[in-house]
Amino acid sequence: MNFYVYIISNKKNGTIYIGYSNNLEKRMKKHKTGTGSKFAKRYNLDKLVYYEKFKFPMTASEEKNN
């Protein structure tokens, strides 16, 4: 299983959200429908601008928090 750290935004130089998931495709569908997170819904964050894949969840979590 892979884990992902990702960054989404609403526009160029706009608000960003950094998250992590073990199913990036499913998570992005949730963000696009407004059910991914309250913060992302509030700022209409639905454009994936970056992601990185990891083998272990702790590595992904540590990268997100750096």
**44-63 pLDDT per residue, tens:** 999 999 999 998 777 666 66
What confidence score (pLDDT) does residue 60 get?
63
What confidence score (pLDDT) does residue 59 get?
66
CA-based nearest residue to 47, from 27, 30, 25, 32:
32
**29-46 pLDDT per residue, tens:** 999 999 999 999 999 999
What confidence score (pLDDT) does residue 57 get?
79
What confidence score (pLDDT) does residue 64 get?
65
